[in-house]
Structure 1
Amino acid sequence: MDHPTLIPFGPKSNCNLDVCPLEWTIFKYRPSMAASISFIALYSLLMCFHIYLGFRWRSWWFTICVALGCVEEILGYAGRIILYHNPFNFAGFMLQIVCIGSAPVFYTAAIYVTISMVVESLDVSLSRLPPKMYYAIFISCDVIALVFQAVGGVLSTTSSGQSTIAVPLSLAGLIFQVVITFIFSVLFADYLIRYFRAHKRQSPSSVNTNNSNENGSSPAARDRPDLKRLKIFTGFMAAAILLILARCIYRVEELREGYTGKMMTNEPLFIALEGVLIVLAVSCLLVGNPGFVFIAPEKGLKATLRGNGQQTDGAGVETGSSSDASAEKVQV
């Protein structure tokens, strides 16, 4: 790196593999073309599935957030393909650092709003926070984390990676994201434990069987959510949260060493703890879509959980009474 005319890193980089050794690059490896193409294909496929379910269940906010996250992932892995062709390409490096690094913020935003709906629809009295505070607080914190990461990325770009505060800013954003995600996970787990315990204590005799309908379900039974469906939904949602949290912890440790640290040069670790974990998280969110458990009885009214008395097909679409069959799906 003592050649005076060669610049290996930064917007003015003029290196390529013909004139500079691979060891001069940030990663010290050429990103796997097969892995990058595979992740682009997986995120494209997952995005199509999410968009389909979004239109089917009209879960607009959730779908837009997840789709934006998938777009960022696709752009990020496109950046890694650029780096495969030229590991010194600074635009490709920043594209993958910024896009792959910030994509999970969109997934957590979708989760926060959905969980606030769950709390509002099940039992607000069991929650430590009012439903709207879940997304008011945590989305705001996610935006702050995203700003820190973005500013750090911009400073790295404009300073050719020489800024002394770029990495600390990005690291602060990631650490803040880990803390916020962990706090949310604790609140979510606390609410689920309190809800299922309270539901378990409810006496079956409280249901008025004298008012049962012709299908054998009482109005009280129909008002209660389908617990099996709810447990599946919350289980996959919890799995997505934990996968994202694990990934964020890995990225904190990776960036803690800076762009020249050993973890930055370990591609198998990146593929496993960034690529695979987030693909699994986005896959879990297919079942974590609010349309899996929510319906809205009339257009414009508050979404409600699918009840025990409602018959659904495998995709969660109503096949019950005429009034239920004409219901609008959740508009979130």
Structure 2
Amino acid sequence: MASSNTTWPPGEIWKDLIPFGPLANCTLALCPVEWSVFTYQPSIAANAALLAIFGLLLLVHAAQGINYRAWGYMGCMIAGCVLQIVGYVGRIMLHGNPFDFNAFLMQIICITVAPVFYCAAIYVLLAQIELTHPSRITTLDPSLSRVSPKLFYYIFIPADVTCLILQATGGALSATGGDIDAINTGVSVSKAGLILQVVVLAIFLSATADYLLSYRRAHGGALIRRLSVFLGALGAGVVCVLVRCVYRIVELKGGYFGPEFEHQWEFVALEGVVMCVAVVFFAVGHPGMSLYRLRGEKGPIREEGQTEVAQQGGVGYH
């Protein structure tokens, strides 16, 4: 099965060569790289660098999670990093054989769905902010929110799960598609998941910005420094995820065989680098620095934190 943007040379020698799909049998020794779905060999240097960065970030998030006992946040972040690593392993494999369909599926599914886990970590975390948990959680005057943070459990988290299901299902349909139409159906399902993710992220950012503006109007002051870093870094990370999702929708505009799918360095920059920056923000704004006590500590996070809170009014540790 040839892609629509390639020209198949005539002659008997070419008739049994398949460049894409479960039955692909092309190799670089038999077929030109332009016949591959990417039309290029993925860069080993770029993909190895991204793999190494996500590996390092995985270790950072694991250390932070253990130190602050932020198990749920840590689990989601590690799951996202593991998927990124597996995806970039797949892209490195594609350098040696751009027609390797298993490697293609590794990278397209894992890299596409990984950010869903980062978003899940944030939705669960912010939903917990309102809950009174005496050992772990900070409260940011939830009375000011137009929507109860508890609804994060009933709106944003189910929507995030739906995004994951759509994107994974799209990848599976692409894997089992017997022709271009069936593969494009899988691409359309994946795009639906990405579009839903953009909508959910946009609503989430709007709701968060609205809350912070309400807080400033009500209390007339800035948040304490630790909480400012926490919310600012997480917000920046979510914006990065949003930019990346918009890019992936554009990339898949013409399906796997469209011209937008053939630009390696746009993918490296707007998928790989942008998501690395996002996960760095999620580490800088780790909730342990403002919401969780250090491992082995008892009582409030810090005495001075309580004093700051009392002075500013409305933000309290429970």
Taking structure 2 as the reference length, the TM-score comes to 0.85
Query: More displaced, 143-152 or 99-108?
Result: 143-152
Deviations, residues 93-122 of structure 1 (Å, cap 9, x unaligned): 111000000000000001112222345511
Alignment correspondent of 1:128:
146
CA contact (8 A) 1:83 1:89 kept: yes
CA contact (8 A) 1:109 1:135 kept: no
Distance 1:92 1:231 in 2: 42
CA contact (8 A) 2:109 2:167 kept: yes
1:207-246 alignment runs, 5 A limit:
227-246=224-243
Distance 1:102 1:244 in 2: 11
* 1:95 and 2:110 aligned: no
CA contact (8 A) 1:75 1:95 kept: yes
Distance 2:73 2:142 in 1: 21
1:1-332 alignment runs, 5 A limit:
1=8, 3-120=14-131, 121-160=139-178, 162=180, 163=182, 164-200=184-220, 227-295=224-292, 308-309=304-305
Name the CA shift for 1:68/1:180 in 2 (closer, same or farther; >3 Å): same
Distance 1:65 1:9 in 2: 33
Deviations, residues 163-218 of structure 1 (Å, cap 9, x unaligned): 042111111111011101110110111111111222217xxxxxxxxxxxxxxxxx
Residue identity (%)? 44
CA contact (8 A) 2:253 2:260 kept: no
- How far 1:129 sits from its partner (Å)? 1.8
CA contact (8 A) 1:9 1:161 kept: no
- How far 1:310 sits from its partner (Å)? 5.7
Distance 2:80 2:277 in 1: 14
What is the identity, as a one-letter code, of the residue corresponding to 1:91?
N
- How far 1:60 sits from its partner (Å)? 0.3
Distance 2:167 2:265 in 1: 24
- How far 1:290 sits from its partner (Å)? 1.4
- How far 1:160 sits from its partner (Å)? 4.3
CA contact (8 A) 1:294 1:306 kept: no
What is the identity, as a one-letter code, of the residue corresponding to 1:185?
L
Task: Give the RMSD, CA atoms, in angstroms.
Answer: 2.5
- How far 1:307 sits from its partner (Å)? 6.3
Name the CA shift for 1:305/1:191 in 2 (closer, same or farther; >3 Å): farther
CA contact (8 A) 1:247 1:278 kept: yes
Distance 1:197 1:116 in 2: 22
Query: More displaced, 158-167 or 69-78?
Result: 158-167
- How far 1:233 sits from its partner (Å)? 1.1
Unpaired runs of at least 5, structure 2: 1-7, 132-138, 308-317
Give the count of matched residue pairs. Answer: 288
Unpaired runs of at least 5, structure 1: 202-224, 312-329
CA contact (8 A) 1:119 1:127 kept: no
Distance 1:30 1:47 in 2: 27
